[in-house]
Structure 1
Amino acid sequence: MEDKVLIVEGTNDRKRVRRVLAEPVDIICTYGTLSDEKLESLILPIEDKDVYILVDADEAGDRLRKQLKHELPNATHLYTQKGYGQVETTPIDYLTHLLRGYFNVKEVI
């Protein structure tokens, strides 16, 4: 079982991040907003882990980030650049640079 958890919005975000990671990380997709039931089932199993949040740099991502900040106050928030907008369209070399400080990453070729 991994000690690190990365929360992203969708499956394309998860695929993009997996291309960069060189270690096993539990990547959870929220699929947008979180209901109270979904929050409870998401939060309880990961409260004692190192949680990282990487969501899109848009309105929906900002709302989700605010909700997760409230529920997971000790989580580390990672940000893509506004110009990239979505995690799934963030360049691989930028994602590698962003995640390097927190995860083992593959070297960019």
Structure 2
Amino acid sequence: MNKTEVINFLSLYQPMPDDLDITQELIDQYDDVRQYFIQNPDNDAIPLLMRSFGSGDGLGVYQLIEDVFDKCDYESVIENIVEILTDPSTIKSVRFWVTQQAVNFPDAR
């Protein structure tokens, strides 16, 4: 995978399907995207990943997304957390998972 492919994939899944509707093939692709960004940290991926959380736990992959954020610029992660959590249109599943991520990035904002 290259950056264009992973960005295109994430752009298509804002958010990912609910766990009841997701296929193993799709979640495997999502995990490949996660691994790509661990190897190739990119702040452009932060908002796309944060808004990709569907209902459920992504068959166990959503918990692993924090590994990507740990590789990104700390301030960029916080700015995206704040933006998403203060956006009233943020859907419940995204709000839940971004709140979980916020625990790892303490900030007064």
What band does the TM-score fall into relative to the shorter chain?
Answer: 0.3 to 0.5
**Structure (1 or 2) with the greater helix fraction:** 2
Give the TM-score normalised by structure 1: 0.33
Give the TM-score normalised by structure 2: 0.33
**Structure (1 or 2) with the greater strand fraction:** 1
